[in-house]
Chains A and B, each alone.
Chain A
């Protein structure tokens, strides 16, 4: 699955603001440089002063010379380095800002010198440790107006929202006397969505009336009032042009020939910390997220409109996001869900939120990915089943993720309990495949 998302460009302005005047700017930058002396630089200053004072006290001019040499070296370096320009502008381009876990993406950086000639620059891109080591570059001196371009690949093993940047710059001096650090402020967000596994098609008890086939129905029988239009694409039949809309919008609009049946699915994922075991990429939560993502992509392909509900409620709904119903791209459908899954944290609540349950939203298909279930949850779930048209449950055997000492005595599994309550349930072990579990749900 490839994300075709417009790449993002992040332009950062010049690093330094204009100073009042050339001389003032120079003294200010020299002062900066002296302040930025490293331990080595400071040691040189101290040693030089000591030697020079000793030379004066002992009346040895050569000792003073040696002292002055040692003293001046860091100071002259500071003046020299501060004199060179640090006014740079940066453009960061990411080939795609939404990738699946384990896919790599290239980050391209373009540093332009908008000031006078620079010295050697050591740049370091601040990336989260999950994306690997921080990429480091040594940029050679640049004349005014020059641009240097460089790129590095980023590859995330774990889903998440990653901030790329800001770019940090250290102005290199020839002796390691200075630590003149600058940083751009702008960052780029990289969304790494969980890698969806392909799921086999299973007969599902649709939550819609009518056709038994879970496909969007062609729009050919509805009334003209229901017509929906879209922009004209190259190759569209001219006979499909909807002239009235065209007249209104000023652009060619065509009638949609088909309209997807709005088959809705509520995807519930239990992301309570208490419901999951293990930590990091190899935790039951990650497995649940991957499963949820796979299901979301699978169902989207089948034409379902997915609504993701988490343990603390329906964030989408609360935000009032208006999902657009008429996009044909399955990935685009799944994208908001995947983005939410990418950044899904564990929550500290102990009881599942019930606020999202209402008639309008539970009328369709309900798929739940559950962790460990408590008493309260069971009461809630037994009530929930009665609301949805069809209820599927993927219960994770979370104990198989727990370390040995945390493992509790195996009680009656959730799967059996859920099946008793009328859910179509399957259990997902740590070592088991999602496809198999999904298949089991279809039986």
Chain B
């Protein structure tokens, strides 16, 4: 018999690779080049967060992508090798780029001139430094930033095109793409946006599929089903279709799945800081709280800042932590407005009444080359400032000055004029309540532990005004509460740590004291915040009329501030006097009149020998780690409990089986138990058990499922069950009981073999019979069984 007589459902299209039509070849080349260019463009679009108005670079980059794909596709259609295609692409793209960037100096707008090329290079260079210097997003007036990004995008496009199409290694094209994607991952806060991730992911997958399609189509003659369509078209759809489906599914899962992965600050976070902290390396201030703790604990007397002034050098602020997130104090505004450049006059502090008495003084600061700080240490309030380098911005509400550039400059020299406010306790006493907006924002305590509030209320019971309460709180911390200052303290974190500090431990350093007081004040409805800065300088040398002060890492300090309408934020000092000296004059209350030496001489040299028990502190034991280790056993226990829980059904089932299979005094019960065990096994395995039918029917149902060779065992067992149920006298011998037990064991195995292995596993770990057991008593047939159950 020959095939010619058969139904001809398929047709044979012979399309060998060499004889493929030029059209198909060109189409595949353009498709590949287009996909590669789109992929590179999508990856470059991840940089949109770097500049304001990102269309300024993404639109030219899109045009460049089309250009690269068109030139590459066309030349490869002519079967030119990559080393010929690449220079041509570079030439065309650079011509266009030159036109785009330096159209004025080009001949006729297109022909490059030496000046034009120089201008182009210069603009790219400028753009690079702009992107590096300014914080993202770089503002609109920096026009060269986008130019640099276009140039970088060109590089990505050309390399993706070269690798994927020229060298025909599409998987490796992922490397430049990943390099491009690391920019937003490492620089921008938001990381990759969803469209960018999905776009690059799906396009990469499509690129792989397109390249693979070419390989598959050229693998052999196409055998397709329909006569009308060309072989190439059909095969392409057959490959790219599933490819797109797989790619979309994978990208979606990749987008969603990692959301479940708990991300902290990374495994190396703590270790890294400890490694660099010891031995006088660079000191970086990026997170005020953490860095304060670290620098204090290290006690390596590293000089950080020098100031020349005639004013009081104490309490130089670094940063305001005005947001309590439920566990720690953090700065609320990390984003500074692009217009608030800290150069020249700063706005008047809104809180301070302009008529407030005080003195102004000039300061000259110089940060240490080893001191890298995001915030510039300044006295409060500063009215004018001149900074020699870096991109610094100020926060309107706190007057914090922070670096907006990506690389915080060190060795900064700056001069400023600051106002030294005279605070009158009487004014504080009679102050009006704070404005609503401020009150709401500055008394927020998420997850407040009632204990804290209770203690605060107890401590301040005798006070009537905010000021009284603040004074009482400070007093409680400094003297009455029985607190001890020690750097060796290992406080817990968050609210729990706070409660522990307030109730049991009562040992801590400035961080705990300031945080606790601010939280307690907030819990009483008093606006409060924490400030990090330098307490007082370690060294003082005369410099003309002024004094040169040197601040070291040991001088870092944290203190709370309480808001009073008309006066603004007023400093308090809950940290015991062993560290801080006497409290500020205004903060001791109206009753105890202290000579107004308060501010000017409070932390004098005399009280400086504060060398608490800090020698014992192991260098590499940060509080955070203890927090972690305390949680680990809990987690381990939880996992263990979960594991155990999964074992429970299996163990229950096993115990039940053992009970049923054990010999009993009454043979009737024993046989009934064996029958129940067989039924349970059948139900476990997910086999339908004909409830309420006769024993013979059930046995027939089982026989249909599994082997007939062992039929006699089941028959004999059913016989025995019938006798046990219905006969007047039932006295089986030991051999019969034994064979009945063997029948149950054997048939359990046979039935298990008749179902998929997954069901057997399910039967073992999640036996259904545990759930359906209640139905048994209603089973009229299982009369005996219901009796024993």
Q: Which residues of A line the B interface, CB within 8 A?
A: 7, 9, 20-24, 27, 40, 43-44, 52, 55-66, 68-70, 72-73, 76-77, 80, 91, 93, 95, 108, 110, 119-120, 122-124, 135-142, 146-151, 172-176
Contacts and interface: CB of A to CB of B under 8 A. Distances in A.
B2 A175 contact: no
Nearest to B756: A21
A124 B221 CA distance: 10
B546 interface: no
B551 to A, nearest CB: 32
Interface stretch (B150-158, B205-213, B552-560): B205-213
Given A7-B1, A23-B758, A59-B264, A65 B220 contact: no
A109 B5 CA distance: 14
Contacts of B220: 122-124, 135-138
A27 B756 CA distance: 11
A57 B266 contact: yes
B197 interface: yes
Contacts of A110: 3, 6
Contacts of A142: 225
The number of chain B residues touching the other chain, given as a range, is: 35 or more
Contact of A119 (B242, B250, B758): B242
Contact of B259 (A9, A27, A61, A72): A61
B240 interface: yes
Nearest to A122: B219
Nearest to B261: A64
A93 B5 CA distance: 12
B243 interface: yes
Interface string B244-260: 01110111011101110
Contacts of A120: 216, 235, 238-239
Question: What 10 A-B pairs are tightest by C-beta distance, nearest first?
Answer: A21-B756, A136-B220, A59-B266, A174-B243, A69-B254, A24-B756, A148-B10, A64-B258, A68-B254, A174-B209
A76 to B, nearest CB: 5
Contact of A174 (B2, B239, B255, B755): B239
Contacts of B759: 21, 23
Given A140-B234, A149-B8, A174 B208 contact: yes
Interface string B186-224: 100001100001000100010011001101110111111
Contacts of B181: 62, 66
Contacts of A66: 178, 181, 254
21 contacts: A7-B1, A9-B1, A20-B755, A57-B268, A62-B185, A64-B261, A66-B178, A76-B253, A77-B246, A120-B216, A120-B239, A136-B219, A138-B219, A138-B222, A140-B224, A140-B225, A142-B225, A146-B9, A149-B8, A172-B216, A173-B242
Contacts of B213: 174
Contacts of B266: 57-60
Contacts of B208: 174-176
Contacts, number: 184
Given A137-B220, A138-B221, 16 more contacts: A21-B756, A44-B171, A58-B268, A59-B263, A61-B191, A61-B263, A65-B197, A76-B249, A76-B250, A124-B220, A138-B223, A140-B238, A148-B10, A149-B12, A175-B205, A175-B212
A91 B7 CA distance: 14
Given A20-B756, A21-B755, A72 B254 contact: yes
A65 B192 contact: yes
Given A58-B268, A73-B250, A137-B220, A149 B6 contact: yes
B756 A176 contact: no
A147 B246 contact: no
A95 B6 contact: no
Contacts of A65: 192, 197, 254-255, 258
Most B CB within 10 A of own CB, among A64, A69, A77: A69
Most B CB within 10 A of own CB, among A9, A20, A65, A146: A65
B269 interface: yes
B223 A40 contact: no
Contacts of B606: none
A20 B7 CA distance: 34
Given A120-B216, A174-B212, A150 B221 contact: yes
A95 B1 CA distance: 9
A135 B221 CA distance: 8
B216 A60 contact: no
B216 A138 contact: yes
Contacts of A68: 253-254, 257-258
A59 B263 CA distance: 5
A119 B241 CA distance: 11
B249 to A, nearest CB: 6
B265 interface: yes
B758 A27 contact: yes
B221 A137 contact: yes
A21 to B, nearest CB: 3
A55 B10 CA distance: 50
A284 to B, nearest CB: 38
A138 B233 CA distance: 13
Contacts of A124: 220
A76 B223 CA distance: 27
B576 interface: no
A9 B5 CA distance: 13
Given A136-B220, A174-B246, A147 B758 contact: no
Interface string B437-469: 000000000000000000000000000000000
Nearest to A147: B9
Contacts of A24: 756-758
A137 B184 CA distance: 46
Nearest to B184: A62
A91 B568 CA distance: 93
B642 to A, nearest CB: 21
Contact of A43 (B171, B242, B263): B171
Contacts of A61: 191, 258-259, 261, 263
Nearest to B12: A150
Contacts of A146: 9-10, 225
B174 interface: yes
A76 B246 contact: yes
A63 B219 CA distance: 36
B771 interface: no
Contact of A69 (B6, B209, B251): B251
Nearest to B174: A70
B665 interface: no
Contacts of A174: 208-209, 212-213, 239-240, 242-243, 246
A146 B7 CA distance: 11
A73 B205 contact: yes
Contacts of B268: 57-58
A110 B201 CA distance: 39
